[in-house]
A and B are shown apart, each in its own frame.
Chain A
Amino acid sequence: MEETISLQELMNVLKKRLIMILAITILAITIAGVVSYLLLTPIYQASTQILVNQDKVEQQPFNSQDIQTNLQLINTYNVIIKSPAILSIVIEKLDMDTTPAQLTNKISVDSTQNSQVINVSVTDEEPYRAVDIANTTGEVFQEEIKKLMKVDNVNILSPAELPEKPVPVKPNPKLNMAIGAVVGLMIGVGIAFLLEYLDTTVKTEQDVEDLLELPILGLVSPISEKEMPTPASRHRKKKR
């Protein structure tokens, strides 16, 4: 049986299942909203900026060779910040119940290309703890780098601060709900077409003509109760 589907038929299928599609979409949005607002633990982020610069008075402040050296050092620093050598001290200082490996996952270090500033971002369920970790990491790094590299070229540019109203970076309920809406819509439309495809019943005059090749004598609409007089009035009529 060959089937050609016209755009109009597609529209009719969607129109017929519109309520179902909308229901699934709304359901998906609700689930996404409930999960992101109630179930997922909000994660807060705090970041501190570290400036890497040789602090030598006798030299000219802008020695391009120095800057180059510093830039090359930054790559090394990036690794050092996340190394257990630093993090175990951070854990000790903050009296935290975690391992350096676990803490590494919370910290991300990045630096813009050719910039002497290192950005240390910390994510945590508690906003104040994120700030603490970020600041302590910066301080510990500043201290430790003197011993490790025998240089004193690290300054904390801007420490992390605890905002009055911390906004979690994740989950993003609005984004999740938007994703939920799109996914729900897709699932709804998919189910609508699936149902239409699985529905092998006779539905239109065209079906009868194509399939049975018999003339159609007539169509009879469903007889609703509205069209029928109530049984009581019918009885009354009969008795008369």
Chain B
Amino acid sequence: MAIFKKQKKPLQKAARKLITVDNPKSIISEQYRTIRTNIHFSSADTELRTIMLTSSSPSEGKSTSAANIAVVFAQEGRKVLLIDADMRKPTMHHTFHVNNGTGLSAVLTRQAEAAEAIIPTDIEHLSVMPCGPIPPNPAELIGSQTMKALIAQLKEQFDVIVFDAPPLLSVADAQILSNECDGTILVVNTGSTEKDNALKAKETLQSANARILGVLMNNYTLAKDHYYYQYYGTAE
């Protein structure tokens, strides 16, 4: 308990905002549900099971988006697993207030079984796999055969697996992982992502043969006459 109290402050700062849980009636939650629908539509023939979120640069909203998208999928009744694949700057254990002792890195280095690293959350149908201890070689771990086997194994247990990946242009992790995933979502921070970087990120993903589902525009301030504002039932 004492340890928990000590960590409380940085914990709240690093925690991503789970608006879909805390305020499911808000416009933003509605926006996440729209994204969920669009993800469904973007895969008419093949079923998307593994979705990865990444962006060109750090702090563009990957973790927040990944967490909220995982939540809306879970709210739909699917069995969702959210994996923190950002082994350089993990945050998911803060967001969901879970122990980061065993996680993806431990599973990939065969120090733990996958079942040990999967932690159910307060949200129905949603489980998370935190990052675990930060390893020295995240890119190799993600590119390993163990990772492939792990994804295949998890696909049997879960309907949807959402990966929170590191930024594309900083490290190779996301590029490697995107190749393993059914779909990749590029997060763009409106008003802060450089056009050049966004383009480079897209090219990086294309060179990895990733299937880019589309772009999520984060931090997008709606104009007053935007159609979302006219959506009835969201007014408080």
**A and B: real partners?**
yes
Report the Cα distance A9→B230, complex, angstroms. 23
Is B23 a contact of A220 with CB atoms below 8 Å? no
Report the Cα distance A149→B31, complex, angstroms. 96
A227 CB contact (under 8 Å) in B26, B196, B214: B26
B32 CB contact (under 8 Å) in A203, A215, A216, A218: A218
* Cβ–Cβ < 8 Å partners of A227 in chain B: 19, 23, 26, 28
B202: interface (CB < 8 Å): yes
A163: interface (CB < 8 Å): no
Report the Cα distance A238→B186, complex, angstroms. 32
* Cβ–Cβ < 8 Å partners of A238 in chain B: 122
The tally of residues in A whose CB lies under 8 Å from a CB in B reads 26
Given contacts A214-B186, A228-B17, contact A221 B215 (CB under 8 A): no
What secondary structure prevails in chain B residues at the interface with A? Answer: mixed
A4: interface (CB < 8 Å): no
Q: Mark B20-31, 1 if CB is under 8 A from A, else 0.
A: 001100111001
Is A201 a contact of B193 with CB atoms below 8 Å? yes
Q: Mark B161-202, 1 if CB is under 8 A from A, else 0.
A: 000000000000000000000000110111111111011001
Is A214 a contact of B220 with CB atoms below 8 Å? no
A218 CB contact (under 8 Å) in B19, B26, B35, B122: B35
B65: interface (CB < 8 Å): yes
- Shortest Cβ distance from residue A199 to the other chain B in the assembled complex, whole angstroms: 8
How many pairs of A and B residues are in contact by the CB < 8 Å rule?
Answer: 108
Given contacts A200-B196, A218-B31, A220-B61, contact A205 B191 (CB under 8 A): no
Chain B: which residue is nearest A238 at the CB level?
Answer: B122
* Cβ–Cβ < 8 Å partners of A223 in chain B: 17, 19, 28, 64
Is B19 a contact of A216 with CB atoms below 8 Å? no
B12: interface (CB < 8 Å): yes
Taking CB atoms and an 8 Å cut-off, the chain A residues in 147-190 that contact chain B are none
Of listed A201, A215, A223, residue having the most chain B CB within 10 A: A223
Taking CB atoms and an 8 Å cut-off, the chain B residues in 143-163 that contact chain A are none
Is A216 a contact of B22 with CB atoms below 8 Å? no
Chain A: which residue is nearest B29 at the CB level?
Answer: A227
Chain B: which residue is nearest A219 at the CB level?
Answer: B220
A205 CB contact (under 8 Å) in B35, B195, B217: B217
Report the Cα distance A231→B18, complex, angstroms. 11
- Shortest Cβ distance from residue B126 to the other chain A in the assembled complex, whole angstroms: 15
B82: interface (CB < 8 Å): no
Is B215 a contact of A216 with CB atoms below 8 Å? yes
Is A215 a contact of B194 with CB atoms below 8 Å? no
Is B19 a contact of A217 with CB atoms below 8 Å? no
Is B219 a contact of A220 with CB atoms below 8 Å? yes
A57: interface (CB < 8 Å): no
B42: interface (CB < 8 Å): yes
Report the Cα distance A170→B106, complex, angstroms. 81
Given contacts A201-B195, A207-B195, A212-B198, contact A217 B42 (CB under 8 A): yes
B34: interface (CB < 8 Å): yes
A7: interface (CB < 8 Å): no
Is B22 a contact of A228 with CB atoms below 8 Å? yes
Is B222 a contact of A221 with CB atoms below 8 Å? yes
- Shortest Cβ distance from residue A100 to the other chain B in the assembled complex, whole angstroms: 66
Is A220 a contact of B195 with CB atoms below 8 Å? no
* Cβ–Cβ < 8 Å partners of B28 in chain A: 220-221, 223, 227
* Cβ–Cβ < 8 Å partners of B222 in chain A: 219, 221
Given contacts A223-B64, A228-B23, contact A218 B199 (CB under 8 A): no
Q: Mark B90-123, 1 if CB is under 8 A from A, else 0.
A: 0000000000000000000000000000000010
* Cβ–Cβ < 8 Å partners of A56 in chain B: none
Taking CB atoms and an 8 Å cut-off, the chain A residues in 185-240 that contact chain B are 200-205, 207-208, 211-212, 214-223, 227-229, 231, 234, 238
Contacts A220-B28, A234-B22 given; 14 further ones with Cβ under 8 A? A200-B195, A201-B191, A201-B193, A202-B188, A202-B193, A208-B217, A214-B214, A215-B213, A218-B35, A219-B220, A220-B35, A220-B218, A221-B221, A223-B28
Q: Which residues of B contact A (CB under 8 A)?
A: 12, 17, 19, 22-23, 26-28, 31-32, 34-35, 38-39, 42, 61, 64-65, 122, 185-186, 188-196, 198-199, 202, 212-222, 228
Q: Name the 8 nearest CB pairs between A and B, nearest first.
A: A218-B35, A217-B214, A215-B214, A219-B220, A217-B38, A223-B17, A219-B217, A202-B193
